Amino acid sequence: MERFFLQEMDEVSLYWRFFRSMTPETVHAYVEQIPFTGKGAVFGAYAGSRLVGVAELAAIPADPRCRADSAGPGGVPACADIGIAVSNYQRRRGIARALMERLVQHAWTRGIKRLQVSTLKANHPMIRLAEAFGFRTMIEQNDELIMHAFRPVGFIPQPLLQAAKDMAPEESCARDEQEQGTKPGRRIVCPVLLMDRKCPD
């Protein structure tokens, strides 16, 4: 995953994702602490066998409304933060939308009640994407927007996708399409649930 951040994204894209300048050392430190399991989830979007997008879901423990036992069984957090990054070379192909769709569905199915997106005010594509999925601006501070979306009343959970540790991305995509009833090859990219930072890339 470090290769994705360092080779697929430039300094500007990294700044828009992390709100600060990133170096190989800070990217490494960030990837090391990503919650791939438990209270978090990470999806990777693949074009063939190449990792071209990453979407992350992480609990917000500092928020008193997000205590681990307040949303559902198994320590599911009440609310979580979303982060999405897409390769500079794969823009305007629906990758961010595919990642957002899969991540939001995963969060609501797990029982999370509120999702949060933090973005720079100048990041108009991210703002439009979030609004398309029901996010609304709750807080404006300096150059940043904090947007929230709430789990729809009457939401019908879908089977949670399981990470495939020993599958190639293409095999995992084919399995997910079969489980979700998606026509094979429908997507330009395929969001796959990742198990650890050593994902195929």
Tokens of 72: 């559902």
Confidence of residue 179 (pLDDT cuts 50, 70, 90): very low
Distant-in-sequence contacts of 159-165, Cβ < 8 A, 24+ apart: 159/109, 160/106, 160/109, 160/110, 161/102, 161/106, 161/193, 162/193, 163/192, 163/193, 163/194, 163/195, 164/192, 164/193, 165/195
C-alpha 164/C-alpha 192 separation (Å) is 8
C-alpha 1/C-alpha 104 separation (Å) is 21
pLDDT digits (tens, 9 = 90+) for 35-59: 776 678 899 988 878 899 999 998 8
Confidence of residue 173 (pLDDT cuts 50, 70, 90): low
pTM assigned to the model: 0.78
Length of the chain: 201
C-alpha 118/C-alpha 130 separation (Å) is 10
Share of the chain above pLDDT 70, in %: 71
Pick 157 or 132 by higher pLDDT: 132
Q: Of 19-28, 88-97, 173-182, where does the model show the most confidence?
A: 19-28
Query: Does residue 135 carry a pLDDT above 90?
Result: yes
All structural domains of the chain, each given as residue ranges with its CATH number in brackets, are 2-172 (3.40.630.30)
